[in-house]
Structure 1
Amino acid sequence: MEEEEEGEWRKLSIYKAARSIKRRENSLYNALRSIYQDSVFVGEISQLWPQLPLLANLRCGLWYSSLFHSTCYFKSTDGHTNNCSFSTSRLNLHVAHLAGQKGGCMIVDSTRKGKRFPDSMSKTIPIWTCVLNRAISHFRRDSNIHDAAPSPQDDNTDGCDEIAKDVSCDWDCSLHLPLWVPQTEKACIEEKLEEWTQQLKASGADIASLAAILKKPLRPLWISQKTVIWLNEVPHHDSWDFTPIILVSASSSNGASQHSTTSEFSWNYIPGAGDDEESWARGLTPPLFWNHVYDLINSGPEVCNQKVADIVEKSRVCRAYRGENAPQVRVKSLSNEEPSFASDNSNIEVDTKSSESFEISWLGSTNLAVGASQFATDVAGVDCILNCDQESISVSLASAEAYLHLPMVSSKFDRFSLSNKLPKAVSFAKLNLSQGKRLLVCCNNGEDISVCVCLAILMSLFDEKDTFDDGKSFNARHITKWDMRRRLVFICKFATNARPSRGNLRQVFNFLIGGKCILQSQDDGSDE
């Protein structure tokens, strides 16, 4: 019996020791040094086609350069083996528009799994380019048939068939996947392409503007650290008969951590170190990293943590002085002790992905805007503010009634946070929008919660033409998920950083299908 207990104790000790070693290998300094090393490769590739804009695939890709033109959001889960999909919630149409304007673009991402490319690059983006190409081809075919339709007196319709054939024959609609994707999986994906194309067309996406700006079909190309490129044979992007979407996988694919030694420090290389930043970044964000990159890299592993803590705290204090949301950051300890803090006086946890905030986006011709709370005080032309952030903000508005603070959290932490607050949010919007006021809905990052609240407001108070009608059309129609998807596509057309989570969207849908009686009871002056 004692021998069995001793054996279990040894196994547990080995397990703890292995986890401790792994944590130390994945230290903050190792991660930052690995990111910097991979960023050199990204910089070299970007210089091969300097005319093409460089985009970061959120969130991992954002760490690998300080010179990104903008961001995009292609999820690897949409490209998982035998579970591929096309998401109408993440259309990334701004990427296609940008590629059409500039003749192509480059997207940076990374992966920790020892593969050369993440699934977002192997399958999600190739599926996306193919579906968009097919939708554009259908639009051009239908437009030409309509424009060239014979007169009622002409019974000969052969001309229309020839036009349709000519339009589609020179526009590549085939699926281009990398060689490492098996043919059987490619065949399964091809079977679903027409269904996904119809979903895109039904979503209300502006295919006409894509067809106008894209002169050549989209096509992905793949570049990793193992790719052989002859510098004297690099083609100009205009020489291709397609619009290139160049997919740059930043990290090495050797799998296990590689030990590296410089003249001053030794460190372990981590493939895809930018991934899962909550577990290692200790409140550091990509902009802060690139503002202090050489100081951090040259500091060495012994003092790196303290330098990061000082940088994060200094940034927090500066934001606090400007009246912005600036909670202190709790970080994980490498030992079994209590968690340590980047600053001494608070234990508030903060999601570091919220640090990458975006400007305010007005939603078309509506009086509705969405954005991050830190920009709310600087926006001109706002008459009222609905703040969904955890922290209140200082605002200068005409009256106290023009500001409503409804703190909400993601469904990851509370499955009913949005659904419980949406009735008050929609009522506040209805009161102000009916008076012609301009309303800003903001949250911590302007990407998720505020987008979902705007979606609920648009669905509840606006008609199909995005005109405020005080909820008349909402009460007269049956709400479906496709209605919600079409309206979300409308929001994403203006708020290109929108990334609503599935759990939060589910709460919005549940509110909408049960929201008529709630809104009617509020109109009658009764309680919720």
Structure 2
Amino acid sequence: MPFPTTSELIFSDQANHNFSKTLGELKRSTLSIQNRLQSIEHDATFAQRVAEAYGRPLIANERCGSWYIDPELKGGSAYFKSTDGHTGVWKFSSRRLNLHLLETIGKHDGCIIVDSTRRGKRMPDALSKTIPIWCSVLNHYLFPAEPSCYELYTPPQVVSNSEHAQISALLPSFVLALQALKISLDNLRNQISKPLRPIWVTPDSHLDPTSNIFGDFHPVICCTVSRRVAGGEVSEGGYIQGAGDDTENWAHGLTPSVFWANKLHLLSTSENELPNVIEELVAQSSSISAGFRCVKPTWSLFVATIADIQAPGGTASDACTIILQPRVTEQSKWQVSQTQLDPGLGLHKVGSRNLRLALPVILAFVESLVWPQKENNTGKSHIVIACESGKDLAIGVAVAVLCLCFNDHGELLRGPHQRVAIDKSFIRSRLGWISTSMPDANPSRATLQSVNSFLMDRPT
């Protein structure tokens, strides 16, 4: 009697259920915390090999990139988003200018930007398209007399000729968007001596140690640290491509700094014990405050975290202080002193939505303190704005304050009579000040929409 073919085999519903359950359990065991941490360590070794080969500083493309660089070897951070390079929606982001990288690039004749991507892709769009757009736009802006350096460079094995041509056609509009921000050209031009050009390195690349000096350009080396996994992780012996991504789904609060400080301990801990060990290490780790950060070119507007404010000596009686609380509170309870307002807006999308209605109250409070109301009142000379992260809601309020209370030189206006007309271009230019002063600022789209609505709807 012949054996039945696979198409003739019939499994019971219970068998199918068990089979699906087994596959799910197998996948979950493969995507374990331990496998992720070991994969991160493996990929970090490649990043170090690239640094040794090219002799240039490692820059983490946040958030993922920091997992793959020992903090002692980290030369800085970049904020290039893959979404800015997605097919059909390419853009040059005024929210993520990354102009702070120019100083590092100039000093070291380039840099290595480290990132990764999840299963199936050769490299993240941030490295294959967002950074090439950035390099080309800055070359246009900083070297206007050298059209030979305007060309867009993309990796041909990742970006098709058609997509390359479509991006190239948009570059002039991206340059205009950067010019509209009115950022000082001289300051930036003094930081680099040559145009920028992206170069790509992956685990498939052949690495030879070199002290090569690229005569015609500063190399921006785009390093994808994870090797490409075409199939499922189950077939990879526990290796996970882009293991440092999606930390909210697996890390239990673990951060790159805590991982690197306790790497050996974590890698030697069993899977069952890891969540508890991670929780203990995170609780023990001392959070290092970024401190009060001044928004240039002003000398009087500062952004901070709530933790910064609450630290000893964190507030000053001569400053106008706005603390955006992570819990929703009644407006009648917001003002806690003559110089401090604590709007309770809530977190995330709730806070961003509530910001729209809170901004008139916040700006009225700021204006009452910074603009002299009487001859003997000279006004407060410093403004401090804080939220839980120091990167979202506080940034939104700072943009509104910059638009309504400061002139183009970063000086406080003397009153509403000195204001100029506000449009979207004006708002973007003020946001550019923040992007330049605080590259890690990351206001959500909802936060910026609330700010735009408030500013554009104000009576002139």
Normalised-by-shorter TM-score class = 0.7 to 0.9
The corresponding residue for 2:142 is: 136
**Over aligned residue pairs, what C-alpha RMSD do you find?**
2.7
SS class of match (1:106):
strand
Offset of residue 305 of structure 1: 2.1
Structure 2 matches for 1:314-393, cutoff 5 A?
A: 314-315=284-285, 358-364=290-296, 365-376=298-309, 377=311, 379=314, 383-390=319-326
Matched, 1:207 2:185: yes
Q: Which amino acid aligns with 2:292?
A: I
SS class of match (1:268):
coil
Q: Which moved more, 1:301-310 or 1:72-81?
A: 301-310
Alpha-carbon distance between aligned partners in 2 of 1:11 and 1:401, rounded to the nearest angstrom: 68
Alpha-carbon distance between aligned partners in 1 of 2:291 and 2:76, rounded to the nearest angstrom: 12
Q: Deviations over 1:300-348 (max 9, x none)?
A: 3232222112212333xx66xxxxxxxxxxxxxxxxxxxxxxxxxxxxx
Offset of residue 506 of structure 1: 0.6
The corresponding residue for 2:154 is: 177
Matched, 1:482 2:414: no
* 8 Å CA contact 1:459, 1:474 repeated in 2: no
Q: Which amino acid aligns with 1:460?
A: L
Offset of residue 178 of structure 1: 0.7
Distance 1:402 1:53, change over 3 A: farther
The corresponding residue for 1:524 is: none
SS class of match (1:107):
strand
Alpha-carbon distance between aligned partners in 2 of 1:308 and 1:430, rounded to the nearest angstrom: 46
Alpha-carbon distance between aligned partners in 1 of 2:75 and 2:143, rounded to the nearest angstrom: 28
Matched, 1:34 2:4: no
Offset of residue 208 of structure 1: 2.5
Q: Deviations over 1:118-170 (max 9, x none)?
A: 000000000110010011122xx4xxxxxxxxxxxxxxxxxxxxxxxxxx26x
Offset of residue 444 of structure 1: 1.9
Alpha-carbon distance between aligned partners in 1 of 2:154 and 2:304, rounded to the nearest angstrom: 36
Structure 2 matches for 1:7-156, cutoff 5 A?
A: 17-50=22-55, 52-65=56-69, 66=71, 67-138=73-144, 141=145
Alpha-carbon distance between aligned partners in 2 of 1:459 and 1:499, rounded to the nearest angstrom: 18
Offset of residue 41 of structure 1: 1.1
The corresponding residue for 2:176 is: 198
The corresponding residue for 2:265 is: 295
Alpha-carbon distance between aligned partners in 2 of 1:20 and 1:460, rounded to the nearest angstrom: 56
TM-score normalised per structure 2: 0.85
The corresponding residue for 1:310 is: 280
Matched, 1:448 2:392: yes
Offset of residue 480 of structure 1: 1.6
Q: Deviations over 1:63-112 (max 9, x none)?
A: 11123222111110111123211112211111123212332111111000
Alpha-carbon distance between aligned partners in 1 of 2:137 and 2:363, rounded to the nearest angstrom: 35
* 8 Å CA contact 1:135, 1:197 repeated in 2: yes
Q: Deviations over 1:226-256 (max 9, x none)?
A: 111123xx242x3442101111111111243
Offset of residue 16 of structure 1: 5.2
* 8 Å CA contact 1:57, 1:109 repeated in 2: yes
Q: Which amino acid aligns with 2:139?
A: N
The corresponding residue for 2:410 is: 466
Matched, 1:421 2:358: yes
SS class of match (1:178):
coil
Alpha-carbon distance between aligned partners in 2 of 1:47 and 1:82, rounded to the nearest angstrom: 36
Count of residue pairs the alignment pairs up = 428
The corresponding residue for 1:494 is: 437
Offset of residue 380 of structure 1: 7.9
Matched, 1:511 2:454: yes
Aligned with residue 242 of structure 1, among 217, 223, 229:
217
Q: Which amino acid aligns with 2:402?
A: L
The corresponding residue for 1:162 is: none
Offset of residue 454 of structure 1: 0.3
Aligned with residue 367 of structure 2, among 426, 430, 441:
430
The corresponding residue for 1:222 is: 200
Q: Deviations over 1:186-242 (max 9, x none)?
A: 1111111111111111122233322222211001111111111123xx242x34421
SS class of match (2:303):
strand
Alpha-carbon distance between aligned partners in 1 of 2:113 and 2:226, rounded to the nearest angstrom: 14
Offset of residue 12 of structure 1: 6.4
| Structure with more relative contact order (C-alpha pairs < 8 Å, separation 6 or more) | 2
The corresponding residue for 2:333 is: none
* 8 Å CA contact 1:55, 1:107 repeated in 2: yes
Q: Deviations over 1:328-382 (max 9, x none)?
A: xxxxxxxxxxxxxxxxxxxxxxxxxxxx863321123341101222223355867
* 8 Å CA contact 1:358, 1:445 repeated in 2: no
Which stretches in structure 2 are left out of the alignment for 5+ residues?
Answer: 1-10, 329-335, 372-378
The corresponding residue for 1:284 is: 254
* 8 Å CA contact 1:78, 1:124 repeated in 2: yes
Alpha-carbon distance between aligned partners in 2 of 1:86 and 1:402, rounded to the nearest angstrom: 39
Q: Deviations over 1:424-471 (max 9, x none)?
A: 222232233231331211122222211111001111222333322255
Identity %: 31
Alpha-carbon distance between aligned partners in 1 of 2:202 and 2:234, rounded to the nearest angstrom: 17
Alpha-carbon distance between aligned partners in 2 of 1:420 and 1:39, rounded to the nearest angstrom: 46
Distance 1:476 1:432, change over 3 A: same
Distance 1:389 1:225, change over 3 A: farther
SS class of match (1:439):
strand
* 8 Å CA contact 1:411, 1:417 repeated in 2: no
* 8 Å CA contact 1:121, 1:247 repeated in 2: yes
Distance 1:176 1:312, change over 3 A: same
Alpha-carbon distance between aligned partners in 2 of 1:383 and 1:25, rounded to the nearest angstrom: 53
SS class of match (1:93):
coil
Alpha-carbon distance between aligned partners in 2 of 1:7 and 1:252, rounded to the nearest angstrom: 39
Aligned with residue 271 of structure 1, among 241, 244, 260:
241
Alpha-carbon distance between aligned partners in 1 of 2:25 and 2:108, rounded to the nearest angstrom: 48
Alpha-carbon distance between aligned partners in 2 of 1:14 and 1:481, rounded to the nearest angstrom: 56
